[in-house]
Amino acid sequence: MRKIDIFDTTLRDGEQSAGINLNTAEKIEIAKQLERLGVTIIEAGFPASSPGDFDAVNRIAGTVKNSIVTGLARCVQKDIDTTWEAIKVAEQPHIHVFLATSPIHMEYKLKKSPEQVVEQAVEAVKYAKKLFPLVQWSAEDGFRSDRDFLVKIIGEVIAAGATTINVPDTVGYASPQEYGELFKFLRENVRGADQVKFSAHCHDDLGMATANSIAAVENGADQVECTINGIGERAGNASLEEIGVALHIRKDIYPFETGLNLKEIKRTSQLVSRLTGVVIQPNKAIVGRNAFAHESGIHQDGVLKNPETYEIISPALIGEDDVPLVLGKHSGRAAFRDRAVKMGYDLSDDKLNKAFAEFKKLADRKKEITEEDLVTLLTEQQVLIEDVALYELKSVQVQYGTENIPTATVAVTTPTGEIATSAATGAGSVEAIFNTLEQLVGGTVNILDYRVTSVGKGRDALGEAVINLRYNGYTTTGRDAAQDVLEASAKAYLNAINRQLIQASIRAHQPTV
């Protein structure tokens, strides 16, 4: 099988994503994980761009042993010298020099003629080659460049000593067919093409980065440049996990070997997400939270009978634990029964059907059915429990003024059916309400977390309050929504207390599960 080198640029092009700024320690941690993942080359940064980038590239070059470490440089001596200072500690020093070749970049950005660009590229590669055994040269905006010009300049940089030629689709404009054809054309027409590696570097502006990278590989590229989770400038780069897994899963049509240790993918993806702060979209291929989550009844039924009915990738392939079937409003009896059995419940068909009917009602109201919800539903069917009396909010009133101490007066119906009223002050309106409710429910309540968010948009959006509290030695989360955030907060508080009452009753009746 033909070897395809994975050139990871998470730490360079990935860090060029708006809002990402990694420090040296974070970059080293990611680089070590990329090494475990088995990438061929790690582009650790752009050493001449800042002392921080220099330091990170230098430390990574001295740390990573099983992947080649490279740094980006413009075609200027100062950048190349700085990159050498950063990279020379590496076992196989590698540099990535680039210069734009498209008419628009040459005329407006570089303000140079095509002849001057050829000269600058050749000089830079010759200079770099005196220092580095491995020199990659990139024709920035290569896809939008004139093909004859590409043939000429690439031929000349190969003669000058380049060992890899990268032809990026810098602005994500190519289609898979066009990008593939470009590689075929260059392989067939560039002088010295057989002496170098060709590399693909795709951006995802039109959502085609992965497809374009694979088209390049099919047409002669030996290396693909990509990032973890597809992060990168603008819409991002081709995503490493998509390329690696696609080539593996479809090796029937892609007979290529990447050398990646696919089991490290999930861990790498989560590390990058955590350190960059870039949340992975739930439906992101391969690494999204929902990538292996079957929610609908017909799919779940099929997967239970044979996972391959709906699963082309096993979660274990990328190092992900078994993903339990998601129980939601589209789930069917088969998935519900499967979960009940896995949780240790042994219900008759009749009881299971009753629990399932309750589950469907709840799923219509709630986005996510938690394990705790299921315990409640299933235990209610397993044993008969008496109705649990709960607290109910009757009224809440707050006196607030910038010159006054906020005071809340709250009335509730207690589990014994009485109406109880109390009042208390607090540093703010919410604290005054919580202090009053604490008096009403009795005992000590510790608020562990409290958040208010708006549900929907606009002035009339509902406020949703979520509160996590500890009461009677147990922790529960309550939530509620109301037009007013103070009312929502009071209801969420009582909801959390009520859930404890329900849980206490269930615990008293629950079999060992």
Ligand X SMILES: CC(=O)SCCNC(=O)CCNC(=O)[C@H](O)C(C)(C)COP(=O)(O)OP(=O)(O)OC[C@H]1O[C@@H](n2cnc3c(N)ncnc32)[C@H](O)[C@@H]1OP(=O)(O)O
**Residues near ligand X (CB under 6 A):** 13, 16, 46, 49, 74-76, 98-99, 109-110, 140, 170, 233
Asked if residues 142 and 167 have their Cβ atoms less than 8 Å apart, the reply is yes
Residue 75 CB, shortest distance to ligand X, in Å, is 4
- Distance (Å, whole) CA 415 – CA 396: 18
Report in angstroms how near the CB of residue 65 gets to ligand X at its nearest.
27
Of 229, 173, 228, 164, the C-alpha closest to 202 is 173
Q: Consult the annotation and say whether 94 binds a ligand.
A: no
Known binding residue 509? Answer is no
Q: Which residue has the tokens 């979960």?
A: 339
Nearer to ligand X, 27 or 266 (CB): 27
Q: Count CA within 13 A, CB hemisphere, residue 469.
A: 29
CB of 327 to ligand X, least distance (A): 44
Question: Is 212 marked within a binding site?
Answer: no
Nearer to ligand KIV, 199 or 381 (CB): 199
Q: Backbone dihedral region of 207: left (phi > 0), alpha (psi from -120 to 50 degrees) or beta?
A: left
* Site for ligand KIV contains 79 (CB under 6 A): no
223 φ, ψ to 5°? -145, 145
Segment near ligand KIV (CB under 6 A); pick from 164-172, 255-263, 267-275, 276-284: 164-172
DSSP state of 15: T
Is residue 98 part of the contact set for ligand KIV (CB under 6 A)? yes
Return the one option of ligand X, ligand KIV, none that residue 180 interacts with (CB less than 5 to 8 A, by type): none
Shortest CB 222 distance to ligand KIV, Å: 16
Q: Which two tokens mark 117?
A: 């660009």
Q: Please give the Cα distance from 43 to 128 (Å, whole number).
A: 16
28 vs 75 by CB, closer to ligand X: 75
Give yes or no for a contact between 465 and 481, defined as CB atoms under 8 angstroms apart: yes
From ligand KIV, ligand X, none, interface partner of 138 (C-beta below 5 to 8 A by class): ligand KIV
Choice between 137 and 345, CB closer to ligand KIV: 137
Written as six digits, the tokens of 70 are 């490279």
- Of 203 and 339, CB closest to ligand X: 203
Among ligand KIV, ligand X, none, what does residue 299 contact (CB within 5–8 Å per kind)?
Answer: none
Check residue 480 for interaction with ligand KIV (CB under 6 A).
no
Q: Applying CB under 6 A, what is the total number of residues that bind ligand KIV?
A: 10
| Strand residues in 101-232 grouped as ranges (E) | 134-140, 164-169, 197-202, 223-226
Q: Name the phi and psi angles at 55, rounded to 5.
A: -60, -45
Rounded distance, CA 468 to CA 395, Å?
A: 22
CB 223, min distance to ligand KIV, A: 12
Q: How far apart are CA 314 and CA 283, in angstroms?
A: 16
Q: How far is the CB of 257 from ligand KIV (least distance, A)?
A: 24
Distance CA 414, CA 263 (A): 54
Distant-in-sequence contacts of 326-329, Cβ < 8 A, 24+ apart: 326/290, 326/293, 326/294, 326/295, 327/359, 327/363, 327/369, 327/374, 328/295, 328/363, 328/367, 328/368, 328/369, 329/360, 329/363, 329/364
Nearer to ligand X, 140 or 204 (CB): 140
- Annotated ligand binding at 201? The verdict is yes
Selected from 201, 294, 299, 337, the binder of ligand KIV by CB under 6 A is 201
In angstroms, give the least distance from the CB of 36 to ligand X.
26
Least Å distance between CB 499 and ligand KIV?
Answer: 52
Which CA distances in Å does 81 have to 74, 86, 231, 293? 11, 9, 28, 50
CB of residue 153 to ligand X, shortest distance in Å: 13
Note whether 168 binds ligand KIV by CB under 6 A.
yes
166 binds ligand KIV (CB under 6 A): yes
Find which of ligand X, ligand KIV, none residue 201 binds, CB within 5 to 8 Å per kind: ligand KIV
Report the alpha-carbon distance of residue 68 to residue 369 in Å, rounded.
46
Among 151-159, 162-170, 184-192, 427-435, the segment contacting ligand KIV (CB under 6 A) = 162-170
The partner in contact with residue 76, picked from ligand X, ligand KIV, none with C-beta cut-offs of 5 to 8 angstroms by kind, is: ligand X
**3-class SS string, 392-440:** EEEEEEEECCCCCCCEEEEEEECCCCCEEEEEEECCCHHHHHHHHHHHH
Residues in region 202-231 near ligand KIV by CB under 6 A: 203
Q: Which does 75 bind (CB under 5 to 8 A by kind): ligand X, ligand KIV, none?
A: ligand X
CB of 248 closer than 8 Å to CB of 240: no
Under a CB-based contact definition with an 8 Å cutoff, are residues 472 and 499 in contact? Answer: no
Q: For the CB of residue 207, give the shortest distance to ligand X in the complex, in Å.
A: 19
140 binds ligand KIV (CB under 6 A): yes
Identity of the residue, 168 or 463, whose beta carbon is nearer to ligand KIV in the bound complex: 168
SS3 content of the chain, % helix, strand, coil (to 5): 45, 20, 35
Among ligand X, ligand KIV, none, the one that 166 touches (CB under a kind-dependent 5 to 8 A) is ligand KIV
Residue 109 interacting partner from ligand KIV, ligand X, none (CB closer than 5 to 8 Å by kind): ligand X
Do 97 and 80 contact (CB within 8 A), yes or no? Answer: yes
- Contacts to ligand KIV from residues 5-24, by CB under 6 A: 13
Separation between Cα atoms, residue 90 and residue 69, nearest integer Å: 7
- By a kind-dependent CB cut-off of 5 to 8 A, residue 332 interacts, out of ligand KIV, ligand X, none, with none
Per the annotation, binding residues for Mn(2+) are 13, 201, 203, 237
Binding residues: 13, 201, 203, 237
Binding site for ligand KIV (CB under 6 A): 13, 72, 98, 138, 140, 166, 168, 170, 201, 203
